[in-house]
Amino acid sequence: MKHNFGAGPGILPQEVLKQAAEAVIDLNGIGLSLLEISHRSKEFEAVLDEAVSLVKELFSVPEGYSVLFLQGGASTQFALVPYNLLPSTGKAAYLETGVWANKALKEAKYFGEVEIVATSKESNFTYIPKNYTIPADAAYFHITSNNTIYGTQLQEFPKSPIPLVCDMSSDIFSRKVNVADFGLIYAGAQKNMGPAGVTLVIVKDDILGKVDRKIPSMFNYQTQIEGGSMYNTPPCFAIYVSMLTLRWLKGKGGVAAIEQENITKARVLYDAIDANPLFKAVAAPEDRSNMNVCFVMENPELEKPFLKLCDERGIVGIKGHRSVGGFRASIYNALPLSSILVLIDVMNEFAESNK
């Protein structure tokens, strides 16, 4: 058995994988593969309608918001957000909390002025900045809710006087969120929602249509809303798997239930790291992520032997991001507590044999 701690594409529920595999051969007994039916067919329209409906239900999306399933990954949204929201003579505000936040603000600079409200770059992004002031004259304030590389997470979202835009790629549907506090939420699917290839966007309709530039159709949120996420052929398979995953989440009791599971899983793992003399968590305790647990060894020479033992025990994806090293246990919604307990046993065994 494999224990998948990969940061993304990450683990998906086994039942979802089985259902998706069946649909690749024959979707719901229609005699055709999901991969070969028209996206305009009633069969796929039912899939997309259910996916949108589940997003609205699980996140209690209020009236006045649109739900989109788009292509290009969250990285494309780094550009589409300012393209659609930042006037050419305006300013956008960004909170810099890691690599992806930095990439997002760099893209925004192509469209207008960018103000970095606060940053934790000087500490290699080991904490979330606090006590900053959001400029009221900016078009929007962009934040990244969870930082996969550094293992930090916003435990509370800021109250913003301007539209709040959030990249939730690595913790979407892992905890309760009040969508009404945001102007726009986007998330690549490949952590908690589905496979790579589709990106979820939840946007407040009344923040659109206010920029002074012409936006190409594919990059225009209003065009995508009018087309119902089908202005062009959508990523049908990725949407289908996302729909199945959202169904699975609803069956588990929804976001509130999975949030409690995630809190428990994270607490168990962090407690084990803190108690183990060989390992040390890197993120500030108050900003520790419940999705990506990053840690290092007090003696770096023991890293390779530990990774070898993990591999022998079926633990995969535990190596830290190449830019920071160490280890990263991504404990997304579909990862069971039992896998975390296996990792803890291996860590304790390794510590015992390396006293």
Residues 28 and 127 in one domain: yes
Residues 94 and 154 in one domain: yes
Burial of residue 79 (CB within 10 Å: 0-12, 13-18, 19+) is middle
Residue 334 domain-assigned (yes or no): yes
Among the listed residues 100, 171, 204, 287, the single catalytic one is 100
What are the average pLDDT values for consecutive 10-residue runs of the chain, which has 355 residues? 96 98 98 97 98 98 98 98 97 98 98 98 97 98 98 97 98 98 98 97 98 97 98 98 98 98 98 97 97 95 97 97 90 98 98 92
Residue 57 domain-assigned (yes or no): yes
Residues 100 and 212 in one domain: yes
| CATH number assigned to the domain comprising residue 263 | 3.90.1150.10
- Alpha-carbon distance of 295 to 329, in angstroms, equals 8
Tokens of 132: 């900053």
| CATH number assigned to the domain comprising residue 38 | 3.40.640.10
- The domain boundary residue, chosen from 200, 221, 251: 251
Residues 141 and 126 in one domain: yes
Residues 45 and 170 in one domain: yes
Residues 23 and 127 in one domain: yes
Active site residue 252: no
Residues 292 and 184 in one domain: no
How many domains does the structure of the chain reveal? 2
* Amino acid residing at 67: V
Residue 262 domain-assigned (yes or no): yes
Active site residue 248: no
The DSSP-derived string for 296-313 is EESSGGGHHHHHHHHHHT
- Alpha-carbon distance of 159 to 180, in angstroms, equals 11
What three-state secondary structure class fits 152? Answer: strand
Cα–Cα distances in angstroms (integers) from residue 59 to residues 62, 192, 198, in the given order: 9, 14, 18
- The domain boundary residue, chosen from 251, 272, 288: 251
Confidence at residue 4, expressed as pLDDT on a 0 to 100 scale: 98
- Reference 237, options 7, 104, 50, 44; nearest CA is 44
Residue 119 domain-assigned (yes or no): yes
Active site residue 26: no
Residues 296 and 246 in one domain: no
Confidence at residue 1, expressed as pLDDT on a 0 to 100 scale: 87
- The domain boundary residue, chosen from 251, 269, 284: 251
Among the listed residues 26, 159, 176, 191, the single catalytic one is 191
Residues 153 and 300 in one domain: no
Under 8 Å between Cβ of 177 and 200: no
Residues 224 and 308 in one domain: no
Residues 273 and 221 in one domain: no
Q: Which domain holds residue 97?
A: 14-251
Residue partners of 178: CB distance under 8 A and separation at least 6 = none
